[in-house]
Structure 1
Amino acid sequence: MADQRKSAIATAQTGDLLGVSEWVTITQQMIDSFSRATLDDDPMHTDPVWAAEKGPFGKTVSYGFLTMSLLTHLMHDAMQEGPACEPEQTGYFLNFGFDRLRLVAPVPVDSRVRGEFRLATRSRDEAGRIRLGVDVVIEIEGAGRPALSALWVVVWVPPEQA
């Protein structure tokens, strides 16, 4: 699988689909764990009763930053590789940041999301690594608008530099 991933990155052209992840369900447990980890207990996300009675969406919704934080998992899944790869044989990605990121629509609790990844740009940096701009969309199953749209910049470190 790592050879597939390397081949897909090496041969991809601007606009090519790099992959689509499997669906992930956003549960209340995930939302609550994220709340604890980030010290943010906003009832719109953590209190189902409050959210149903007073919230703008009728139920709790994922934190936008929780949705964003799933990008690494979704990309690993879409690219059919995981964090246990051997860098000296397969290379690895480094997160470089975002040139653009929008949280387009809220993700209601118990919704399923998936990521779609397309190559937007490719260049070499000063160290000779490959810098990729990846257009990312996180879709919400059955929704008309995506949860997130971004241009994610990653650096691909090939195995000979790992």
Structure 2
Amino acid sequence: MNRKVIENYEQFAAFEGKDLGESDYLKITQDQINKFAEATLDHQWIHTDPERAKKEGGFGNTIAHGYLTLSVVPYLWEQIVDVRNLKMLINYGIEKLRFNQPVVVGSELKLKGKMKSIANLRGITKCEIDVVMEIKDSKKPAFTGTIILLYHFND
């Protein structure tokens, strides 16, 4: 893993239109899925009932909530880019999010990012990053989309 270190707008801007890199793999466990179900009150059996999922689910086992796979983006993003000299980071939005493939329990996920665009909004750095959440040994990604982050750097 070749983590980028960024300390200001200019360093980020140098990556516009370029790949930023990829994270390590993260294994999705049934325990994570169950805790996510508790936190979100989404207890659909395809996520939380391994026996029923094996018999009726069509995927051979339980699958992670789509939003669980999305929720690990910050953790994996920090493996790609180490942003320093920061007052605050704000998750501003997500565009064109598409869940392409279910994530079966035990799958390993990896995030890839490319700097789509960057803008300086009166001292706030707005980054639009095209992301792909890959599933190890799968041709189709778990999801694709564009995350929008606002970075407030120290002066």
TM norm. shorter chain > 0.5: yes
Q: Which of 19, 32, 35 is equivalent to 2:34?
A: 32
Gapped runs of 5+ residues in structure 1?
none
TM-score by length of 1: 0.86
CA contact (8 A) 1:3 1:90 kept: no
**Aligned counterparts of 2:140 and 2:28: Cα–Cα separation in 1:** 17
Counterpart CA distance in 2 for 1:13 and 1:56 is 41
Q: CA 1:3/1:90 → structure 2, altered by over 3 Å: closer, same or farther?
A: farther
Q: Would you say 1:12 and 2:8 are equivalent positions?
A: no
State the Cα distance separating 1:109 from its structure 2 match. 0.3
Q: Name the Cα RMSD after superposition.
A: 1.9
What amino acid does structure 1 have at the position aligned with 2:12? I
> As a proportion of its length, which structure holds more helix?
1
SS at match of 1:4: strand
Which structure features the higher share of strand residues? 2
Contact kept? 1:122, 1:131, Cα under 8 Å? yes
- 1:92 CA drift (Å): 4.2
Alignment of 1:27-66 (within 5 A): 27-66=29-68
Question: The residue matched to 2:7 in structure 1 has which SS?
Answer: helix
Aligned to 1:93: 89
TM-score of the superposed pair, with normalisation by structure 2: 0.89
Contact 2:86–2:152 (Cα < 8 Å) also in 1: no
For the pair 1:113 / 2:109, whether they are aligned, the reply is yes
Q: Give 2:140's match in structure 1, choosing from 133, 145, 148.
A: 145
Deviates more, 1:19-28 or 1:4-13: 4-13
Aligned identity (percent) is 28
CA–CA separation in structure 2 for the residues paired with 1:109 and 1:60:
6
Alignment partners' CA distance in 2, 1:3 and 1:145:
26
- CA distance in 1 between counterparts of 2:40 and 2:127 reads 29
Counterpart secondary structure, 2:93 = strand
User: Is 2:134 aligned against 1:133?
Assistant: no
- Does the 8 Å contact 2:98/2:145 carry over to 1? yes
Cα distance per residue 1:7-30 (max 9 Å; x no partner): 75242122x112211110000000
The Cα of 1:3 is off from its aligned counterpart by: 8.4
Q: How many residues are treated as equivalent by the alignment?
A: 151
**1:100–1:152 contact (8 Å) kept in structure 2:** no
Select between 90-99 and 107-116 the one with higher mean Cα deviation: 90-99
